[in-house]
Structure formats: C-alpha cells, structure tokens
Structure 1
Amino acid sequence: MNRSLLDSLRKGGFIFYSRHGEANVGRDLSNLNFQNCLTQRNLSEKGRREAIYYGDILRYLRIPIKYPVASSPFCRTIETAQLAFGSGNVQVDPFWVDVYRLTGNLPSGDKQRILNGLQSVLELKPEEGRNNIIIAHSFPKGIGLGQIPNMGTVIVKPSGIGNGYEVFGQLFLSDLSKLGC
C-alpha cells in the first residue's frame, strides 16, 4: 500500500465492502433465524479480534467513515460491525442476505435481480468527504465482487447512479496495518 492510496481514502468518496471476521463457530442451519445466533455460524475469537483491529486501524489511519455502517442481518456480520464501529453505529440491511444467497443454486432471474441491486448500491456516491462501509459476505468466484477473505475489503469508487463503479482495489488487514507505518 502506498501513501497516495491512503491520501485518496482520506478524501472519501469510496465504498468499503468488507467481509465479516472469521466465523467458524456453529453452522448455518436450514431453519436459520436471524434473531437466534445459535442457528448460524458465528465469529470465532480470532474473528472478534479481527473486527476490533479493523475499526481501530481505520480510525488510526484517519479514514473518514459515514455512520451508520451497513450490515447484513447475520449475527456474524452484525457483531463484526459492532466490534469495529460501535453498537450504535450499525444499521442492518436485509438486502445483504441476497448476496449471501448467491452462493446457493438460484434461478438466473433471481441471481440477476440481486446483481442489479448490488450494482445500484455500488453506484451510489457517499456523502462528501466520507466513505461508506458495508459489512456482509463473500461472493462466489467470478460473481459480484468475487471471493473475499475474512475481513478482506474491496474498495469501490462509485460513479453515480446509472454510471457504474470501479473496483479501486482489495485490501487485507495486513495491508491496512502497513499503511500506518
């Protein structure tokens, strides 16, 4: 990571699409219930540390964030967002469940509807001088923003509604910590 990238991120105007921290506790059951974390995979202790570190490093680097941050309704994404940015700074958005569903066997019409919705979200420019944060899920290989590792972040530069977006880069936690040096 270089200084010019950090300077760009500090000016705002990006969307940070981040996958939740490591989640290897439990499993997503067929009777998954968003109000019952026992029916879902949840963050491990490592995942919790990753989430805390992610928020700490963004603050340390003085990267401006628009609050509230968006989160999928899964317990692992909400907990990641709350640990990183504070429980009062998270807004759950059910749309991100659809992104999670892309990993399943969906009819092509459903898949296209989800990808069109994703396109609309990623085209929306953030408030001047801020960056939007989304804590959600990885994508299947070659779909959407592609595969994202635990606490990996895809940096998106929106061009405005109907004008597309550019994937500016992908960052890992180790990349963010190098920026602080």
Structure 2
Amino acid sequence: MRLISLILMLILPGAVAAQDWSLLKEPGTVALMRHALAPGVGDPSNFDLEDCSTQRNLDDRGREQARQIGAAMREAGVQFDAVWTSQWCRCTETAELLDMGTPEEFPALNSHFAGQGDPEGQAAEVMARIKDMPPEARLLLVTHQVNVSELTGTGTTSGEIVVARRTGTGLDVVGRISVAP
C-alpha cells in the first residue's frame, strides 16, 4: 500500500512532489490543512456540534486520504509541536487519522461558512495563539476552507495543506501540499 501511495503521489497531477515535505520540517512552520474529503457543501440544517450524525462527515475516501497524508508525513520525518483542530467531526477525525500528535480542539478553528461564526475575530484569536507559541514551534491546524482562506488569503481543496511562515503581520504562504485521494 505504501508503494502505491508513493507512486500515486509522484504521478498524479496536483499530487505531492517529494521536496515539498521538507517545508513542513522547517522551524516555525504553520501547516493549515483543510479536513479530508467529506462529500457535500456546508452542513445539514439540523447541525449540532455535539452530534456527528448531524454533520457532513468524512467518507471512506476521506479517511484513507487522511491516513495517507499522515503516513507520508511520518515517512518524511515530519513532526509537529502542536496539532490544533476545529471541533467539527470531519476535522477532529482527520486530525486523529493523521496520527501526528494528540489533537487539541480549538474553537477559533471552527467553520464560519454561510454566516456562522466570526471570521475576523476567529482569525485574530488563531493568530494570537500562534504568536504565543515559541517562534520555532511547528504547528498543524486542521480546519475548514473558509478558515484557511481567512488566515492566508488562499483557498484550498480537501486534504490540502497550505504551508506558511509567521511574519510580523500574519502568515506568508510558502507552499502547498496535496495528496490525491
């Protein structure tokens, strides 16, 4: 299975190039990952944060995608000092399946899609927490497309990692890593 994953990563369009993993090993890296594949858009009208059955969740391809991304990071020797996740089930499950450390739920990473939440306030809270971490700390944030966009100014696809460095005014995107499901 690992050989197949490696071959897929090397030949599929948009897949990860081997040199990209090194970006995650640099001190001070902030990796912002959109949760793995979860079919649909948004959440059902009966959404309840405490009940995964009311949410849009990972499918089997999404679970496999998260496992593959985590395996690829571990094989590349990537480690994180902290793993923070949105409280949405598709994010917490992605973070757990990555197996890159014990995920800590961080409400500021919760979705603010379709008018829920406070995009600017949540982004400010995330940036304040990042600033409180030692400058060399490598951080993995598992969240939603809208949050990645708010924090970096760039969109993302399911399972994609936007790699950023801290600046005095925010985050500077230095690369992207995608693993095809």
Shorter chain as denominator, the TM-score bin is 0.7 to 0.9
1:140 CA drift (Å): 8.0
Give the percent of matched residue pairs that are identical in Structure 1 and Structure 2. 23
What aligned pairs does 1:1-181 form with structure 2 within 5 A after superposition?
1=17, 3=19, 6-24=21-39, 28-67=43-82, 69-85=83-99, 89-97=102-110, 100-101=111-112, 103-105=113-115, 110-121=118-129, 123=131, 126=134, 128=136, 130-139=137-146, 143-145=150-152, 146-159=154-167, 162-173=168-179
Aligned residues: 163
In structure 2, relative to structure 1, the CA distance for the partners of 1:50 and 1:126 (3 Å cut) is farther
Gaps of 5+ in 2: 1-16
The amino acid of 1:82's aligned partner reads: E
Contact kept in structure 2, 1:25 and 1:43, CA below 8 Å: no
* Off by >6 Å, runs of 4+ in structure 1: none
Q: What is the TM-score normalised by the length of structure 2?
A: 0.75
Q: Deviations over 1:81-116 (max 9, x none)?
A: 101116x7111111112xx21x32379xx4432343
1:131 CA drift (Å): 1.6
Q: Distance in 2 between matches of 1:112 and 1:25?
A: 25
Q: What is the TM-score normalised by the length of structure 1?
A: 0.75
Contact kept in structure 1, 2:159 and 2:178, CA below 8 Å: yes
In structure 2, relative to structure 1, the CA distance for the partners of 1:38 and 1:121 (3 Å cut) is same
The amino acid of 1:93's aligned partner reads: F
Contact kept in structure 2, 1:12 and 1:64, CA below 8 Å: no
Q: Distance in 1 between matches of 2:37 and 2:71?
A: 17
Contact kept in structure 2, 1:122 and 1:156, CA below 8 Å: no
The amino acid of 2:139's aligned partner reads: N
Q: Deviations over 1:29-82 (max 9, x none)?
A: 233222211110010100000000111011101112114x11101111011110
Secondary structure of the residue aligned to 2:66 is: helix
**Bigger shift: residues 72-81 or 19-28:** 19-28
Secondary structure of the residue aligned to 2:78 is: coil
